[in-house]
Amino acid sequence: MQEIPQRIAEPLIKWFIEHKRELPWRQDKDPYHVWISEIMLQQTRIEAALSSYRRFTEELPDIESLAKIDDDSLMKLWEGLGYYSRARNLKKAAQMIMRDFGGRFPSTYREIITLPGIGEYTAGAIASICFDEPVPAVDGNVLRVVARVNADDSNVLLPQTKKRVTAMLRAIMPRQSGAFNEGLMELGETVCLPNGAPKCGECPIQRSCKAYRDGMTEKLPVRIKQLKRTRVEKTVFLIRTADGRLALEKRPEKGLLAGLYQLPYIDGYYSTEELCGILTEWGLCVSNLYHHKDAKHVFTHIDWLMKSYSVAVEQPTDRFIWVTGDELQSIYPLPTAYRKLL
């Protein structure tokens, strides 16, 4: 992989200052705000994260309040963003900051990367944007920009490719490191778009882009996924009492969606008669059961293929937590996978 031309820095920074989007976490350089936004934006587009960011920071305006919040309330605030381990790591990191850094967010890359849930990209983003430390922040947008600038056909999904790009960017990091890093991210988010659709006429570094020169923008970057996906069939129950309360149960504290609440389910698909037998074994007196809807939910490595059934029961049992509609909205964090069925 070639060296990234240093001449891209000045026009990129100038373009970013003039064209950057007004986003709530850009109103100041508070590391708490940048940190929360960066964690939320992992696997989530900006448009989808905006309302969640505002809700989260209004409820938890600082590190201390994040460190003290109870887990269920935290999960409720994080509802809809998925990847709930990110929220748990936020709380762990906040508690570490309170304990080991006197409640002040650490100011160097070397310290920031020791916090739970923070990797090289997030540490680089916070250190450069908030503390002007000249370190790169390489995400998917940056990898795409660099691949096109250099007309490089390396697989950007490989760790060694990211490592090489990080080293190259470190070598040309300008004094305005935060604006440079944000400029690369913003360029990839708004101009150097994926799937062969870049807006090259709006690009401030078009003259330095070899992919544009050689007509290769639609072919780059190269992304070769090496993950094997697992398909899991599930039967999910929407069990309600006569007064409208819904049955929930809490997931184990470890594993996928750990510690969240869920609709009762069983693995696999069954006949109506078999389902009635299972519900009876659970101690439920079923007065009505019918097929409700089907849905699919995609995780990183797993696809859930869900058939859901609406179940009316005469009395609640101790096997489940029975919640009202208001409680479901305000108290119990329910993953998006299950909310699709409600």
Dump strand ranges (E) for 144-269.
230-240, 246-250, 261-262, 265-267
pLDDT at residue 254, rounded to an integer: 81
Please, are residues 302 and 256 in contact by the beta-carbon 8 Å criterion? yes
Q: pLDDT tens across 98-117, in order?
A: 999 999 999 999 999 999 99
Closest CA to 113 of 98, 82, 139, 135: 135
Residues (pLDDT < 50) of the chain are: 1
- Name the packing angle between helices 85-100 and 31-40 (round to 10°): 160
Distance CA 111, CA 90 (A): 15
For residue 313, give the nearest of 304, 322, 303, 305 by alpha carbon: 322
- Reduced to 3 states (helix: H, G, I; strand: E, B; else coil), residue 253 is coil
Position 342 scores a pLDDT of 86
Residues in Cβ contact with 2 at an 8 Å cutoff, skipping those fewer than 6 apart: 150, 152
Instruction: Provide the CA 81 distance to its chain's centre, in angstroms.
Output: 6
Average pLDDT, the chain: 93
- The DSSP bridge pattern shows strands 265-267 and 321-323 to be unpaired
H or E stretch at 76: helix 71-78
Neighbour count for residue 46 (Cβ, 10 Å): 15
Note the pLDDT of residue 5: 82
Domain boundaries, the chain: 6-214, 230-339
Tell me which fold the domain 6-214 belongs to. Endonuclease III; domain 1 (1.10.340)
Active-site residue, from 3, 22, 38, 47? 38
CATH classification code of 230-339: 3.90.79.10
Q: Torsion over CA of 341, 234, 321 and 56, rounded to 10 degrees?
A: -60
> Would you call 304 helix, strand, or coil by DSSP?
strand
pLDDT value, residue 226: 66
In sequence order, which residues have a C-beta less than 8 Å from that of residue 5 and are 6 or more positions away? 149, 172, 208
pTM of model > 0.85: no
The phi and psi torsions of 202 (rounded to 5 degrees) equal -100, 5
- Asked about 10 being catalytic, the answer comes back as no
Phi, psi dihedrals of residue 249, rounded to the nearest 5°: -145, 155
Please choose, from the candidates 254, 276, 278, the residue with its C-alpha nearest in 3D space to the C-alpha of residue 266: 278
DSSP state letters, 265-277: EEES---HHHHHH
